Amino acid sequence: MTRSHPSSATLLAALLCAVATTAVAYTVNINAGTRAIYLQVGNGSFTGTYSGGGTPGNNATINKVSVSVPAAQVGNGTAQQMTSDSTQAVSFYDNYSFCNPPVQVYIGGFYRLPGTTGTATLSVSTSAANLVDAAGDKIPFTQISWASSGNGDTGTEAIPGGTFTGGTQTLTTFKVNTWNESCHTFSYLNASSVAAGTYTGRATYTLSAP
């Protein structure tokens, strides 16, 4: 009896080795998706369709918002609604007619990142503190504000309304893997009398992620 025990143990070990050396699974290592970030202000480009796995494109268009203030109303404190040359009405999210150009300017985008945590920050910077005309006269950027809405929207807008500060300001943050969009209607606050002229300035929107 005592001699049979080692034999049993040896046999069992041999069988286990045979099983262990037989590969019975092929392995596919899958890696996380790549990071991506997209921002659209005004007119944008998109290739393909969502259902076909569409891809955002680059669009170099710089849209303009403007208003001509009647002479009798200059500086009377009545805000003047601006209009844009943007023609972007549909959202590339689902081709829904979301904005109403030329009054509204579409702004939207997303931040692609594997996982569920993380944010991208949307900010806007103006070219200077003031809009300037050919004679060097100035209107502070703080005289321009915007309201935020969107067809069919309820509740808080993804990119809320505000007023330019004349510098760099944070507008909102985008949560990862969500589409964020709003339509902005710009207004000139018309708070003070200024010299006649065409005043221009540029606002640059930036979506950044760590």
Partner 1 sequence: MRVAAALLAITLALPAAATTTFRVDDSLTLPSESNQAMKWRSLAPNRTAGNAVEGTSVITIRLDTSPWLNRNGKIYMALGEQPIGQVSAEWTTQGRLLPGQLISGNRTLVYSGPIKARTIEDTIALKITADGRRLVAAQRLQFYFEIDVD
Question: Under the rule (CB under 8 A), what is the footprint of partner 1?
Answer: 22-34, 36, 38, 50-51, 53-56, 92-94, 110, 112, 114-116, 176-179
Instruction: Return the C-alpha torsion angle 60, 100, 94, 173, nearest 10.
Output: 70
For the bound state, the minimum distance from the C-beta of residue 86 to partner 1, rounded and expressed in Å, comes to 20
For the bound state, the minimum distance from the C-beta of residue 10 to partner 1, rounded and expressed in Å, comes to 24
For residue 13, the 8-state DSSP code is: H
Q: Which positions ≥6 away from 109 have C-beta within 8 Å?
A: 37, 38, 39, 40, 122, 174, 179, 180, 181, 207
State residue 207 phi and psi, 5-degree precision: -110, 120
82 vs 120, which CB is nearer to partner 1? Answer: 120
In sequence order, what DSSP letters do the residues of 158-171 get, joined into one string?
SS--EE--SSEEEE
How far is 159 from 150, CA to CA, in rounded Å?
10
7 vs 29, which CB is nearer to partner 1? Answer: 29
For the bound state, the minimum distance from the C-beta of residue 31 to partner 1, rounded and expressed in Å, comes to 5
How far is 153 from 180, CA to CA, in rounded Å?
12
34 vs 154, which CB is nearer to partner 1? Answer: 34
2 vs 117, which CB is nearer to partner 1? Answer: 117
Say how far residue 125 (Cα) sits from the centre of its chain: 15
57 vs 75, which CB is nearer to partner 1? Answer: 57
For 60-69, the CB contacts below 8 A with 24+ separation are 62/202, 63/105, 65/105, 65/186, 67/188, 69/188, 69/190
24 vs 71, which CB is nearer to partner 1? Answer: 24
For the bound state, the minimum distance from the C-beta of residue 188 to partner 1, rounded and expressed in Å, comes to 34
For the bound state, the minimum distance from the C-beta of residue 95 to partner 1, rounded and expressed in Å, comes to 10
Instruction: Find, among 192, 183, 191, 189, the residue nearest to 42 by Cα.
Output: 183
For the bound state, the minimum distance from the C-beta of residue 120 to partner 1, rounded and expressed in Å, comes to 13
